Structure 1
Amino acid sequence: MSVDYNLPNDFADRMRAELKEEYAAFAASYQRPPERALRVNTLKLSVQRFKEICPFPLGEPVPWCAEGFYIDEEKPGRYIEHAAGLYYVQEPSAMCAAPLLGDLRGKNVLDLCSAPGGKGTQLASAMQGEGILFLNEINFSRAKILSQNVERMGVRNAIVTVSSPAELAQNYPACFDAVLVDAPCSGEGMFKKEEAAISEWSAQNVDMCARRQSEILESAAKLLKAGGKLVYSTCTFAREEDEGQIEHFIALHPEFRLITCHKLWPHKVRGEGHFAALLEKTEGEESDFLVRTQKPQAKFREQQKQFSSFARDNLAVEFGNLYAVGETLYSLPYGAPVPSVQTLRAGVRLGEFVGGRFVPSHSLAMCLRQGEADFAEVTEEVAAQYLRGLTFPCEGSGWKVVSYRGFPLGWCKVGGGTAKNHYPKGLRTV
């Protein structure tokens, strides 16, 4: 290890040669603690409204993200507002990539390497429920975390897939208006935050990552429509993974042009190391999703009937484009295909059919807004009890959405003056 703040020797030597007189400031930045930040979920509320109700002090805005703020709070995930999906805790530099794609409303958008979901849910906010958002993660366990974050943030138009980039390209060629590739990388920009990034680093790993990134970009090129935009990002400083990767890609693909690229350095900005490049595909094919509806078999017709009965009694918003997987019912985004690759979440997971009746899912509750269902507004004390899985007194009967400050936390079922808790056991606080 180098004496320069425990940086790997080969890495320190390379950066010293590259940065020259800036190296001392770069190395000294590792003495400072990592910056903390959050991003407001504008699918649920405005930035101004969040400022008014945020349970802890907000710092300065993140310069490259209109919804981002620096924070000093050490445990921002412990608040009720976090459980309600009002914000996403995200490293500030990581917020720089998604905004490069601009206005995404009504478009087909793909986040190709999406877990844990920071950039993907940022794309969802930019889309404001308009268009089709594919969030892909090849690793199943990481895809489950991604799906949970999509659920908490109340995203209605996302399809979470578990696929290789090559398989996606084979199934959905030239179907996307915008593709984000937050590529697996050597993680040099995360040395301060993750000790494992230091122990796992090697020059050989940099080369391996660069080869894998090239393969992913080949698939991204096939997935993008003519005229579409591609953002490529990493959290590393290695030229062969950043600028060199883009130069190599454009040399192989003259139909792409570079619009802009940014490199964030920890000694120059309040954030960790990050790279992001925006490219445009100037020519090529253009396709649409092959939309297939589910065959109306007897079981599916009965499921539709049961959901319609629940919706008539409990919902004031329409969920169409229904799609069933076994006993689970989804509402696909309009215009979306029935998934042809392994899928964890196909739009809104509406609920399950249990013993001839429909039981609504947590996902459905989290994407609802005031006026779209019967909200049972609770105090901070009762909200905390609800998140622990406890019952509480409640008037009325039937299914209600437990809400705090007007934002949903989950379902309860009321009877006899008591609300039975339906908050998912895996999410409950101790």
Structure 2
Amino acid sequence: MNLPKVFEEKMKDLLGSEYEAYTACYDEPRHYGLRVNTAKISVEDFLKIAPWPLEPVPWIHNGFYYDGDNIQPSKHPYYFAGLYYLQEPSAMTPADRLPVEPGDRVLDVCAAPGGKATELGAKLGGTGVLAANDLSSSRAKGLLKNLELFGIGNVLILSEEPGKLVSYFPEYFDKILIDAPCSGEGMFRKEKKMVKAWEEHGPEFFSKIQRSIVTQAAQMLRPGGMLLYSTCTFSPEENEQTIEYLLQEYPEFKICEMEGYEGFADGMPQVTESKNPELEKTVRIFPHRMKGEGHFLALLQKGEKQEEGKRLPESGKNKKLPEELEEFLGHIDRKFDSSRMDLRGEKVYYMPEGLPRLRGIRFLRTGLLMGELKKNRFEPSQALAMNLKKEEYDQVIDLPLEDERVMKYLKGETLDVEDLVKPKDKGWYLICVDGYPLGFGKLVNQMLKNKYLPGWRWNS
């Protein structure tokens, strides 16, 4: 592979005697990864039903390698059930190493297409709030789809400049992840087009953006909160020097140790002006040392953790809900707080607790889209179907993987389910594959009208 001469010289300086081992890895095949959605299925249960051989990613508890040259996991019904996300193995590391706990308020600053946000949401387990932001509204739409596919409802999907978010969320978040826009040097092997992009916009261009983002994020993090900064590049300007800059601007931050792995390399204080030895606690991932592409990670804490009273749910006034919505909710074995139901026009949303006022900010979604009220009836959404578990809904059609109706459903076709229902059965049914929801259908005369979201349908 023809690498830019300037880049080669920089890597020789950075790696010294390891440089030849690094360049040799360009002749090796790339690695394909799959991360299990632990919000829907345990790793143990997934391995029992996994349709292909998988090899564990040793530093990620729910990560696995698969043979991407011969199989296509994105074409399997389990993908449509949101049981896993396809992600390069090194890229799994940032969300894995940010210690998110149930009830946290979490921000993913540059979140599209959702590889990190889906894992952060799974860790929250339906509690707290996940704010996922991407400046590009087209990319934010892909982010929304992936979060809905994963069944994550406690979301706020934004499309804003990070700087604009500061005034809305001062010291609001418990955890922040910044997977920063970068020059992409760590991805040269995986995506050759990144080399051309690097020649157009190199480290100097991106380091200015990164410095702006980290200092804005610092203002949105509460005292004692944790921030994880990551890039997929090797450049010191974008890595250790960006962290050095953050520490200069906000001295209350300190670098924290991360759970290690034998393939991780220590950060390099020697590439900074301050030579701060604490920078050794940051992590570099090199593709010649482990089975993954290039990455950099730094975990930081903002000042001392302050003891705060338990965050009590905000008690809103109980709302009188429309009859047709109440009737539908009667089919769901889950308690919904009516004060968190937000009716906007025909659409019904279930809101996360404790959101600030959002007027004047661009967002694609707040909360879980429950469905729509239409002429005295309620139509549940695709997002709600993915958020439910089979046992929470009282009208279910559960198809085994080998049933041809699974594929017909994913293609949007009407299904004959006479063998599965009684003659007088009717209404909204949750369609599952092997016990995992795919979407809704409406049963009329033992025929199932397909309500699978048109934009999600299978294209063979």
**TM-score, scaled relative to structure 2:** 0.87
Deviation at 1:64, TM superposition (A): 2.1
Deviates more, 1:347-356 or 1:250-259: 347-356
SS in 1 for 2:2: coil
| Partner Cα separation in structure 1 for residue 307 and residue 202 of structure 2 | 36
Secondary structure of the residue aligned to 1:34 is: coil
- Residue matched to 2:291: 270
Which letter maps to 1:265?
F
Residue of structure 1 in register with 2:106 after alignment: 109
Q: Is the 8 A contact 1:189 1:272 kept in 2?
A: yes
- Which one is further off, 278-287 or 190-199? 278-287
The Cα of 1:132 is off from its aligned counterpart by 1.3
CA distance, structure 2, for counterparts of residue 211 and residue 326 of structure 1: 42
Q: For residue 329 of structure 1, what is the amino acid of its counterpart?
A: V
Deviates more, 1:385-394 or 1:267-276: 385-394
Deviation at 1:25, TM superposition (A): 1.0
Q: Which amino acid aligns with 2:448?
A: A
Q: What residue is the counterpart of 1:329 in the other structure?
A: 348
State the SS of the aligned residue for 2:406: helix
Would you say 1:8 and 2:24 are equivalent positions? no
Give the match for residue 68 of structure 1: 63
TM-superposed CA distance for 1:417, in Å, is 1.1
Instruction: Output the amino acid matched with 1:220.
Output: A
Distance 1:290 1:8 in 2: 55
1:232 equivalent in alignment to 2:229: yes
Q: Which residue of 1 aligns with 2:406?
A: 383
Cα distance, 1:277 vs structure 2:
0.3
Task: Report the CA distance shift for 1:223/1:79 in structure 2 as closer, same or farther (over 3 A).
Answer: same
Aligned to 2:381: 361
- Partner in structure 1 of residue 160 of structure 2: 163
1:337 Cα shift? 3.8
Long gaps (5+) in structure 2: 257-280
1:348 equivalent in structure 2:
368
Name the residue aligned to 1:419.
448
**How much has 1:336 moved relative to structure 2?**
3.2
Correspondence list, 1:18-417, <5 A? 18-59=14-55, 61-73=56-68, 74-202=71-199, 205-259=202-256, 260-282=281-303, 304-312=322-330, 314-320=331-337, 321-337=340-356, 339-340=358-359, 341-373=361-393, 374-380=395-401, 381-394=404-417, 395=421, 396-417=425-446
- Is the CA contact (8 Å cut-off) linking 2:110 and 2:179 kept in structure 1? yes
- For residues 375 and 390 of structure 1, do their structure 2 counterparts lie closer, same or farther at Cα, with a shift above 3 Å needed? same
Give the Cα separation in 2 of the matches to 1:116 and 1:58. Answer: 24
2:427 & 2:357 partners in 1: Cα distance? 32
> Is the CA contact (8 Å cut-off) linking 1:328 and 1:353 kept in structure 2?
yes
How many angstroms apart in 2 are the aligned matches of 1:273 and 1:304? 53
Matched residue of 1:88: which SS? strand
Report the alpha carbon displacement of residue 309 of structure 1 after superposing the two structures with TM.
2.2
Task: Measure, in 2, the Cα distance between the counterparts of 1:413 and 1:332.
Answer: 26
Contact 1:84/1:152 (CA < 8 Å) preserved in 2?
yes
- The answer to whether the 8 Å contact 2:390/2:430 transfers is no
- In the alignment, residue 309 of structure 1 is paired with which amino acid? E
The CA distance in 1 between the partners of 2:171 and 2:205, in whole Å, is: 28
- 8 Å CA contact 1:174–1:285 kept in 2: the answer is no
Q: In structure 2, what residue type is equivalent to 1:44?
A: K
How far residue 49 of structure 1 moved from its aligned partner, in angstroms, is: 0.1
SS in 2 for 1:178: strand
CA contact (8 A) 2:169 2:356 kept: no
State whether residues 353 and 359 of structure 1, in contact with CA within 8 Å, keep that contact through their aligned partners in structure 2. Answer: yes
Structure 1, residues 292-325: CA drift from partner, whole Å, max 9, x if none?
A: 96997xxxx6x6443112212x322233311133
Is the 1:225–1:286 contact (alpha carbons within 8 Å) kept by the matching residues of 2?
no
> Is the CA contact 2:100–2:120 (under 8 Å) kept in the aligned structure 1?
no
The count of corresponding residues between Structure 1 and Structure 2 is: 419
Q: What is the Cα deviation at residue 285 of structure 1?
A: 9.9
- Quote how far apart the aligned CAs of 1:274 are: 0.6
In 2, Cα distance between the equivalents of 1:101 and 1:18? 27
8 Å Cα contact 2:390-2:432 kept in structure 1: no
Contact 1:166 1:216 in 2 (8 A): yes
Whole-Å Cα distance in 2 between the matches of residues 427 and 17 of structure 1? 48
* Kept after mapping to 2: 8 A contact 1:292/1:337: no
Between 337-346 and 141-150, the greater mean CA deviation after superposition: 337-346
